């Protein structure tokens, strides 16, 4: 008989987000980058490339690849957002500031550090994409977030004993996570920290998982309308 962990394992295995970096319309301007397909099994390698670039002062194009990967399903926005980011980060001093901001947000996460990261990537009103940089830099500790995660969090956090954690502030029309005002930014950052703690907790219960792995399972389950059970705090992948 299957135990509760198997529902989480199935959801994680079913995670499906495949991105062809070669579709980036400006890829010829960046030789050696935006090559190949990043499927579910290749995303860890993309995380590793981004982390190495941040830690060693590698090519700024690594951030552009992450931005394009994150926004791939938004055909109207993915090229525009990626081109804008690459142009913004091209000056060496801006790339250095971005790298410092990512590391600072990862080592000492705070709303101020997050706002500094947003400014350092030229998205002072952004939320989901700046969080993606943090999640790719430290996937063991930080998950991503989007409208599907926000929906799951609003519907299920009470069932997981997190009813006192805030929900994400989203735009009702399309579920976009709003962060254009200070109150909404602060609410969403507080919600994100609670979400990250949950992901780290469940990663420990599932043994060998990372926060990002928990997020992948939740994202898949939410899109498919599948249930994820509450797990015993003692953990163990039965």
Give 76-90 pLDDT, tens digit per residue.
Answer: 899 999 999 999 999
Does residue 6 form part of some domain? Answer: no
Q: What is the pLDDT of residue 218?
A: 98
Does residue 232 form part of some domain? Answer: no
- pTM for this predicted structure: 0.94
Q: What is the pLDDT of residue 236?
A: 53
Matching residue, tokens 């101020």: 112
Residues of the domain holding 64:
11-224
Q: How confident is the model at residue 145 (pLDDT cuts 50, 70, 90)?
A: very high
Does residue 231 form part of some domain? Answer: no
Does residue 5 form part of some domain? Answer: no
Q: What is the pLDDT of residue 175?
A: 76
Choice among 114-118, 128-132, 178-182, 225-229 with the minimum mean pLDDT? 178-182
Mean pLDDT, range 70-81, rounded to an integer: 94
Please name every residue paired with 37 in a beta bridge, in sequence order, or none if there are none. Answer: 20
Q: Percent of the chain at pLDDT above 90?
A: 90
How many Cβ atoms sit within 10 Å of the Cβ of residue 232? Answer: 12
CB proximity list for 197: less than 8 A, separation 6 or greater = none
Whether 14 and 220 have beta carbons less than 8 Å apart is answered as yes
Mean pLDDT, range 165-173, rounded to an integer: 89
Does residue 191 form part of some domain? Answer: yes
Does residue 98 form part of some domain? Answer: yes
* Comparison of pLDDT for 1 and 199, the residue scoring more: 199
Quick check: 135 pLDDT over 90? yes
Q: What is the mean pLDDT of the chain?
A: 95
Please name every residue paired with 20 in a beta bridge, in sequence order, or none if there are none. Answer: 37
User: Which residue in 166, 156, 232, 154 sits closest to 194, CA to CA?
Assistant: 166
Q: What is the pLDDT of residue 90?
A: 98
Does residue 150 form part of some domain? Answer: yes
Q: What is the pLDDT of residue 203?
A: 98
Q: What's the structural domain count of the chain?
A: 1
For 21-33, write each residue's pLDDT tens digit.
999 999 999 999 9
- How far is the C-alpha of 198 from the C-alpha of 131, rounded, in Å? 16
Whether 1 and 226 have beta carbons less than 8 Å apart is answered as no
Mean pLDDT, range 155-182, rounded to an integer: 90
Q: How confident is the model at residue 3 (pLDDT cuts 50, 70, 90)?
A: confident
Mean pLDDT, range 51-79, rounded to an integer: 96
Does residue 159 form part of some domain? Answer: yes
Q: What is the pLDDT of residue 176?
A: 79
Q: How confident is the model at residue 168 (pLDDT cuts 50, 70, 90)?
A: very high
Whether 190 and 166 have beta carbons less than 8 Å apart is answered as yes
């Amino acid at each position: 008989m299957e135990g509760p962990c198997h529902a989480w394992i199935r959801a994680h295995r079913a995670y499906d987000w495949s991105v062809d970096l070669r579709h980036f319309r400006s890829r010829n301007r960046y030789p050696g980058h935006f090559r190949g397909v990043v499927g579910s099994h290749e995303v860890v390698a993309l995380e590793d490339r981004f982390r190495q670039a941040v830690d060693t002062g590698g090519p700024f194009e690594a951030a552009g690849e992450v931005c394009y990967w994150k926004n791939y399903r938004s055909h109207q926005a993915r090229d525009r957002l990626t081109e804008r980011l690459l142009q913004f980060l091209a000056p060496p001093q801006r790339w250095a500031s971005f790298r410092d901001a990512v590391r600072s947000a990862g080592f000492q996460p705070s709303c101020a550090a997050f706002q500094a990261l947003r400014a350092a990537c030229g998205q002072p009103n952004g939320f989901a994409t700046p969080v993606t940089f943090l999640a790719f830099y430290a996937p063991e500790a930080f998950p991503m977030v989007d409208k599907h995660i926000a929906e799951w969090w609003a519907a299920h956090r009470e069932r997981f004993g997190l009813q006192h954690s805030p929900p994400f502030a989203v735009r009702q029309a399309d579920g976009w996570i709003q962060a254009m005002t200070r109150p909404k930014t602060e609410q969403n950052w507080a919600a994100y920290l609670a979400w990250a703690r949950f992901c780290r907790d469940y990663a420990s219960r599932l043994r060998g998982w990372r926060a990002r792995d928990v997020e992948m399972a939740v994202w898949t389950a939410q899109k498919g309308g599948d249930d994820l059970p509450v797990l015993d705090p003692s953990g163990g992948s039965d």
